[in-house]
Amino acid sequence: MKIVAADDQPQRSRRYALLLAARDSEYVLKVYGGYFNVFVSAFGGGGGEDGDVCETWDMFRAVDGELPDLDDVQRYDGFVISGSPYDAYADDLWILRLCLLVREAVSARKRVLGICFGHQVVCRALGGRVGKARRGGWDIGIREVVIAATLPPWRFLDALRDLPQCAKITECHQDEVWEAPLGADVLASSDKTGVEMFCVGDHVLGIQGHPEYTGDILLSLVDRLCTGQAITVSFAEDVKRQLKATSPDMEFWLNLCKSFLRAEELY
């Protein structure tokens, strides 16, 4: 199934595929109409300076086995892979098929952006290693990550002015990248996670955190995890207190993701 966010056929157009690795929660469905709308609102780029660029976003529910055919990879400018409650290192058929699609997209030099689970599954697909967090347990809340002192000269990084030394991002995971793929550059790390962000060339980007999450989405998720006894009540309360005291550098992260997906439009 595909859900298309734009119908016009302008002079110039970009087409992206959102590969959803999670099912819509009741809260996100009720408030936002589903994760598709959350991602397009966060990463959608609009119509360009002259209004003659249109973006089309197609949604594939990867978690339910819906993926673009390998023959359709060339139709897209980029792919975004969402977070998921599943393990990126598991051998479920849909995860193995997703890894195959990632390799095909990377081989075709399409832009591939992985978020949380997506970050991990891209790493796995390209030969890196992922698993349970080595420093133990969940990482939920706002985490400050340290941007690498030396960054590769890729266009999507050049597009950002005054890169901060540190940036806060929303996190919700208990798995992580153990070892980035061969040839990857680690772009950020934290005291909890060694690989918070990596890139492979200028067309693959993985981010462990959730640039797209709003505070209310995280709070709803924390409540669900607590109700399901995945985390304790005291842990959940600590996260809620932190969210009242601080917030992520959302504008920075969204600009980074948009710059990555549209780097060719910047020159």
Provide the annotated active-site residues: 116, 210, 212
- In 3D, which of 118, 113, 78 has the Cα closest to residue 98? 118
Angle subtended by helix axes 215-227 and 233-245, to nearest 10: 170
Residue whose tokens read 């976003």: 57
Pairing of strands 111-115, 139-147: unpaired
User: Got the DSSP string for 31-99?
Assistant: HHSSHHHHHHHHH--TT-TTS-EEEEEEEE-GGGT----GGGGGG-SEEEE---SS-TTS--HHHHHHH
Rounded to whole angstroms, the Cα distance separating 74 from 152 reads: 26
Q: Are 66 and 60 in contact (CB under 8 A)?
A: yes
Number of H helices, E strands in the chain: 8, 11
Rounded to whole angstroms, the Cα distance separating 43 from 207 reads: 14
Pairing of strands 53-60, 12-19: parallel
End-to-end CA distance of the chain: give it in Å, rounded: 34
